[in-house]
Structure 1
């Protein structure tokens, strides 16, 4: 059960933000981020603790969940499934975009093998939570069975719990898996009733011919599984990936533990949509890092009535957009903690004209 945010200190938080030496709302989205994050981090504080607290992000953790998809054999991506394992090895050796950003910005990075075709060597330091080597092709069969589904949800939740116990209060979610934009588009259509023409984009950069193939394939998938697409868990079982499944478990547990969740792009948002359908209060703990270059992502955010922090036309995955959001979140808290009020600075308060 995800608890709704209790707004014990809502008036004090808003008052403190509004009385900083600036016009009302002049720091834009940073003010909203500060309000949301301070609200989350103050959930378990009493009045005295709140009045003395300095709100900071501790041990920020970014997890990349990797999994392979049976549907990838249908040619729905620019790359073969073998690239998933190759990129996981690249993550492990520190050479991918997400490694660079995590080093630059101060993230702790974990990479999870949720079930890829070619398991990486043990010495690479990858977290092994394999549910198989690949999901079943979702246009032929259910992507995973009940055991895989529930094991994956528990594995994801357990991973979040471990990081929480180690002092992490903010956790970000990225992914890697050839073919996973197809799974995410199918999930999006199943949850919302939107057609594949509305939910399918170019992924990492496929041509129009492959976009059309993806749309036709997802139409076939939705028709085949229609009797079972009545609740979010069955949608996940029939249409999801091993990495999406574990993200759902990890996100839901993070919300239960009242952590700050940073959601990356299209695939991570598909997982977040399932979590929000299961536990609507979970969205109160989520920051949507960026609006990606995948055409369906903007529609996902609109459906959730969510506004992304960034819009950089990213379509790489890996959690790269989530990684980029950390300095903004930290800046919002620094302004909340350290920026002077009008009284403290002995500055005449700015009043909006009517």
Structure 2
């Protein structure tokens, strides 16, 4: 499969199905629109699945893992070796992502797409290494265009395999020391933002290292001159292999017609690239949480994506996305389990609020 073939498989959602779902939601025993984002999500999910009452799906958290050459610049609180050590932690089930995935009922699937060393066979680990990490993007492109495209197709292929195994919802996760630097460079390149506005503290760096990180992002953009009109050029020059893999996960989910829950800063950098390649894929994304990384809101605004959770997260790994999958389950259970006014024997006549009237302005006691 080529990138073009992958993109051609992504289709817009059926707006009529979404309208029909909203009409049904309006018959449930609640004020019109009172469940807010859950109602939006229910409409989105029925259109994605092309089913007015979709079952609760099997879920998978896909953690793409890759090392970054730019880590040599000392812009992280942790050494590059932590990428490998954390991969082993995911495999043994001890990371934050594992805890949140278990809570959400999601399987954890780790993908070595660019770890700098050869890893042993481990539970939950799929080996699809494209390269032994990226190059230092302050000296030239992080990877070749061919490597970026191969990583994208790898991510899409893994989603297709999971869907064939019965998975109906995926979440994005990642690991790679220094990947917040790459994510900041991506959004700066696409939106033309200054590094000062999008670079954050990542793993918890101090002020002096933060200034160093800003300088590194500016240097990478100056050296590589990524083309803002060419998303793959940006990805190859200042991205990461795990970010490229997540671009494929997002595009692959849209192509397979399953929702993809987008995690935080790094995952949303991948979503920005994916949406730049295929605007239609945005309809398959579910925003999970708002990271405290300053560049994350810029990314969400670019996508027109709403973050459900505001919890000061900055761990990554897919932790926020796993919590949001629980919200998706709630949206579907609302369709299956909530009574209508008619079935509950509640005599009531209500109409949809005008565009200027918010559902929250209609007190239950006045209906």
TM-score, normalised with respect to structure 2: 0.90
How has the CA–CA distance of structure 1 residues 25 and 114 changed in structure 2, closer, same or farther, with 3 Å as cutoff?
A: same
Query: Counterparts in 2 of 1:154-303, with a 5 A limit?
Result: 154-226=153-225, 228-303=227-302
Matched, 1:313 2:312: yes
SS at match of 1:173: strand
Matched, 1:139 2:133: no
Contact 2:265 2:295 in 1 (8 A): yes
Matched, 1:108 2:107: yes
Look up the match of 1:16: 24
Tell me which moved more, 102-111 or 116-125: 116-125
SS at match of 2:15: coil
Compute the displacement of 1:188 (Å): 0.4
Distance 1:150 1:269 in 2: 18
Look up the match of 1:34: 42
Query: Counterparts in 2 of 1:83-102, with a 5 A limit?
Result: 83-102=82-101
Tell me which moved more, 255-264 or 121-130: 121-130
Matched, 1:342 2:341: yes
SS at match of 2:343: helix
How has the CA–CA distance of structure 1 residues 161 and 131 changed in structure 2, closer, same or farther, with 3 Å as cutoff?
A: same
Compute the displacement of 1:105 (Å): 2.0
How has the CA–CA distance of structure 1 residues 13 and 227 changed in structure 2, closer, same or farther, with 3 Å as cutoff?
A: closer
Compute the displacement of 1:272 (Å): 0.3
Contact 2:25 2:39 in 1 (8 A): yes
SS at match of 1:131: coil
Look up the match of 1:25: 33
Compute the displacement of 1:170 (Å): 0.8
Matched, 1:153 2:161: no
Tell me which moved more, 211-220 or 176-185: 211-220
Look up the match of 1:82: 81
Distance 2:264 2:191 in 1: 18
Compute the displacement of 1:75 (Å): 0.7
Contact 2:66 2:176 in 1 (8 A): yes
Cα-to-partner distance string for 1:119-143 (whole Å, 9 max, x where unaligned)? 3211444111111211000010111
Contact 1:244 1:268 in 2 (8 A): yes
Query: Counterparts in 2 of 1:40-59, with a 5 A limit?
Result: 40-42=48-50, 50=52, 54-59=53-58
SS at match of 1:205: coil
Contact 2:17 2:46 in 1 (8 A): no
Compute the displacement of 1:306 (Å): 1.5
Cα-to-partner distance string for 1:139-165 (whole Å, 9 max, x where unaligned)? 101111133222212211110110111
Contact 2:145 2:233 in 1 (8 A): no
Contact 2:226 2:234 in 1 (8 A): no
Could you say what the CA RMSD is over the residues aligned between the two structures, in angstroms? 1.6
Look up the match of 2:359: none
Distance 2:344 2:149 in 1: 55
Query: Counterparts in 2 of 1:59-74, with a 5 A limit?
Result: 59-74=58-73
Distance 2:157 2:89 in 1: 25
Contact 2:62 2:111 in 1 (8 A): yes
Tell me which moved more, 118-127 or 269-278: 118-127
Contact 1:56 1:330 in 2 (8 A): no
Compute the displacement of 1:228 (Å): 4.2
